Amino acid sequence: MGSLGGGGPAVALEADLADEATPGRLFDAAEERLGPVDILINNASGWVADTFKEAETDRLQRSLGPVSAATLDQVYFVDARGSALMIGEFARRHREQAATWGRIVGLSSGGPDGFPEEVSYGAAKAALENLTMSAAYELADAGITANIVHPPVTDTGWITPEVEAEVLRSQILFHVATPEEVAGVVCFLCSTPHASSPPT
């Protein structure tokens, strides 16, 4: 347990979202140490690079394997199924506590346009987007908003000069973002409107 830059408490826990019992255990631990959970961020991933092509490396010469049951399961069980179970557990506890305010934010980088050379990852993120939008419709009456953030390529330590050059050449990848930029958007979506703000 530690302190965030703004002075709030934080707890680090290791868990496997492919295990269907994990959401309950995570919420139990969070509630025991920090109190009721009113913000859920779905950002975990079982990422793997896979393809429908016959290729052993991607365009940046990184290792690449074929789409298989194993690659699909590795990503879906975390990004899609795990996130869905986290949303379900969040909503259930929200109801039990008669809470009136909540926020769900999912982080995506795949989506409906496909994700060449990261096929399972892109499909799982598309599922996460759909699940989150279902939550937005179904949970709004309970005071919960649900949003998807689709950041550009973000430098969390994996960006190489080759990746950066690829981003600059691309017509759809805007720039390499910093984690702080992405966090700023997430924080905005999790904020409480001022009393003088017009209803939305």
Q: What is the pLDDT of residues 49-89, one digit of tens each?
A: 999 999 888 877 778 999 999 999 999 999 999 999 999 99
| Residue 131 half-sphere exposure toward CB, CA atoms < 13 A | 24
Task: Give the domain extent around 53.
Answer: 2-150
Question: Residue 90: which CATH number?
Answer: 3.40.50.720
Residue 176: inside a domain, yes or no?
A: no
pLDDT 10s digits, 120-171: 999 999 999 999 999 999 999 999 999 999 887 877 777 777 778 877 777 6
Reported pTM: 0.86
Instruction: Find how far residue 173's CA is from the centre of its chain.
Output: 19
Residue 102: inside a domain, yes or no?
A: yes
Residue 46: inside a domain, yes or no?
A: yes
How many structural domains are present in the chain? 1
**Which long-range contacts does 7-11 make (Cβ < 8 Å, 24+ apart)?**
9/33, 9/34
Residue 144: inside a domain, yes or no?
A: yes
More confident call, 37 vs 200:
37
